[in-house]
Amino acid sequence: MNDPAVTEPAFVLHPEHHLSSSAMLQDVVIGLSDGLTVPFALAAGLSGAVASSGLVITAGLAEIVAGSIAMGLGGYLAGRTEVEHYEAEEARERREVREVPDVERAEVDELLAEMGLSEATRAAAVAELTADPEQWVRFMMKYELGLEEPDPKQAPKSAFTISSSYAVGGLIPLSAYFFTNTPVEGLAWSAAITLVCLLVFGYFKSRMTGQPPVAGALKMAVVGALAAGAAFGVARLVGGG
């Protein structure tokens, strides 16, 4: 009979919080961060060289279109390169499993030994893993080469996400010039709006990636301010303003 005064220890699961960053989130970060800084720096540079807000807007919109296309194309090519690299390595592994199975079995055994498995366990695991060629190849791809199979549909998704994020980010600093009379006035409002956005974006990006959020926000704002300041200073210097 159990003593009611004696209670068994309760086991409470410890919640673990890990970053589950998706490819879409990474693409948004890439596009938005460049979109906030590059057009902002361009508009700032033009503000120190021209007297018309219309010229700043025209050049800014042209840069946003060109930049979003270039960024999207870069994202697409990166995604396709990842898929093509995986397919090439997978084809090589299939060929090696077919042509030199003994060498590949030895490599499986070596990988399992590095994981700390005993000799007897390794022998059973090697026999099990190598019985199915598909399973064998997947194991070698993941544990020998460290490659995860990429989504073949990710390249166009990345292209669209990066491109649209860049365009949205670029329109933020440029928007101030639509409602001001002079480039200098537009620059003042653009700097205020963009720096606030950079702080907010840097804060949440750092939180999502597990970095100190305040430091991340300040770093993002400083990078944007330095880029804009350098562009403005060069334009002033070259333009003799």
Q: What is the pLDDT along the chain (241 residues), one digit of tens a residue?
A: 445 444 444 444 444 444 445 777 788 888 888 888 888 888 888 887 778 888 889 999 999 999 999 999 999 998 899 889 988 988 998 898 888 888 888 888 888 888 888 888 888 888 888 888 888 888 888 888 887 888 888 889 999 999 999 999 899 989 989 988 888 888 888 888 888 888 888 887 777 777 888 887 888 778 777 776 776 677 667 655 5
- Asked, for residue 97, whether it belongs to a domain, the answer is yes
Structural domain contains residue 17: no
Domain range spanning residue 207? Answer: 24-235
Q: What pTM was computed for the model?
A: 0.73
Q: Which amino acid is at 112?
A: L
Is the residue at 151 inside a domain?
yes
Instruction: Give the count of domains, the chain.
Output: 1
Inside any domain, residue 11: no
Contact present, 27 and 75 (Cβ < 8 Å): yes
Asked if residue 14 is part of any domain, the answer here is no
Sort 145 into a burial class: Cβ within 10 Å, 0-12 / 13-18 / 19+. middle
**Structure token pair of residue 135:** 């399973």
Phi, psi (degrees; rounded to nearest 5) at 22: -90, 165
Q: Can you list the positions of beta strands (E) in the chain?
A: none
- Tell whether 89 is covered by a domain: yes
In a domain, 15, yes or no: no
Question: Would you say residue 16 lies in a domain?
Answer: no
